[in-house]
Amino acid sequence: MHQPSKTPSIREIPVADAAAGPYGIAAGPDGALWLTLVHGGRIARLALDGTLTEYALDSPECRPTVITPGPDGALWFTRSQDHRIGRVTTDGEVESFSLPTPDSGPFGITAGPDGALWFTQMNTGRIGRVSTKGEITEFALPDEVAEGAFPAAITAGPDGALWFALNQAHAIGRLTVDGDFALHPLPTPGAAPVGITSDGTALWCVEIGAGQIGRITVDGEITEFPLPDRTAKPHAIVAAAAGDCWFTEWGANRVGRITDSGEITEYDLPSPSSEPHGIALGPDGALWVALETGGVARVAR
């Protein structure tokens, strides 16, 4: 028999202000949380004891967006405003790499199965690959898909391919490391997926336009689970274990949990209108959420 999960304790930690805008969050190899300050043009490191360190980037207007640990022990992030990929070591050394295609608007980024980083380019319908030495390759999506598709978050799938949300094509894309592309349209019109994650067995996405969570098998079979509040605007999602995903509800000031069976539980964040965006599984086993109004929420499972 399924036992209902206990209500998690949620604690908020101020790390900046709304003018800085915490947005992306990731667990680093050093046992700390790393954040992008999207409006402040900085990267922040938050230790589990609350110690905060900030690293300025060379362009305050670069809009660091999504951040992920790389295979080289550094953190890698997209700079959506000046169209670069950034890298920061755990010691705070920062560098960046320009993209071949102008004005491409990189957004999502993930470590791939091939020892490189893979990222989306919102404005130009491309998926990019950057080696740990900064060598960049781009893969253009098919013309019938690329125009206005708005690739968003990206994750490495359990099948050795890259999976990504196509926000304005209302679909999920799959790309092999050799560049073979497949398209999986979501059943609900106007789904507008943003976040995507792998739980090691299947892919899960959030449909910000439809107020739903989607589950996609590696064979492309899609199941959708409506949220109790269809206007909640789910934004980012992360897997804590197989069949156990957590997501942010940007429009409803909540975090939610969904299981393989489709059971959804939701939890209000303490501060009103805190604009939860990125979410990550921390080194302490808790969920950590970036709040664009200036904080981080720790959700103890």
**Tens of pLDDT, residues 124-170:** 999 999 999 999 999 999 999 988 999 999 999 999 999 999 999 99
Q: Which residue has tokens 């107020």? A: 211
pLDDT for position 6: 67
Q: Report how far residue 107's alpha carbon sits from residue 64's, in angstroms, rounded to the nearest whole number.
A: 9
3-state secondary structure of 143: helix
Question: Given 3-state DSSP classes, what are the helix, strand and coil percentages for the chain, each rounded to the nearest 5?
Answer: 0, 50, 50
Does the pLDDT at position 63 exceed 70? yes
Q: In what order do the strands lie in the sheet with 42-46?
A: 22-27, 33-37, 42-46, 52-56
Does the pLDDT at position 15 exceed 90? yes
State which amino acid sits at residue 75.
Answer: L
Taking only the tens place, the pLDDT of each residue in 162-210 is 999 999 999 999 999 999 999 999 999 999 999 999 999 999 999 999 9
Does the pLDDT at position 253 exceed 50? yes
- Where in the chain are the domains? 16-300
pLDDT for position 82: 98
Q: In what order do the strands lie in the sheet with 171-175?
A: 151-156, 162-166, 171-175, 181-185
Active site residues: 277
pLDDT for position 5: 52
CA nearest neighbour of 163 among 111, 203, 214, 209:
203
Q: Please indicate if the annotation marks 184 as binding a ligand.
A: no
pLDDT for position 169: 97
Q: Report how far residue 79's alpha carbon sits from residue 38's, in angstroms, rounded to the nearest whole number.
A: 9
Q: How far is CA 16 from the centre of its chain?
A: 20
pLDDT grade for 3, boundaries at 50, 70 and 90: very low
pLDDT for position 2: 35
pLDDT grade for 301, boundaries at 50, 70 and 90: confident
Cβ contacts of 152 within 8 Å, gap of 6 or more: 107, 108, 120, 122, 164, 165, 166, 167, 193, 194, 195, 196
Q: Report how far residue 122's alpha carbon sits from residue 273's, in angstroms, rounded to the nearest whole number.
A: 27
Assign domain 16-300 to its CATH superfamily.
Answer: YVTN repeat-like/Quinoprotein amine dehydrogenase (2.130.10.10)
Taking only the tens place, the pLDDT of each residue in 28-38 is 999 999 999 99
Q: What is the mean pLDDT of residues 84-88?
A: 98
Does the pLDDT at position 4 exceed 50? no
Residue 212 is encoded by which pair of tokens? 């739903």
Does the pLDDT at position 1 exceed 70? no
Phi, psi of 167 (to 5 degrees): -60, -45
Query: How large a percentage of the chain has pLDDT more than 70?
Result: 98
Q: How far is CA 255 from the centre of its chain?
A: 14
Average pLDDT, the chain: 96
Q: Report how far residue 82's alpha carbon sits from residue 97's, in angstroms, rounded to the nearest whole number.
A: 10
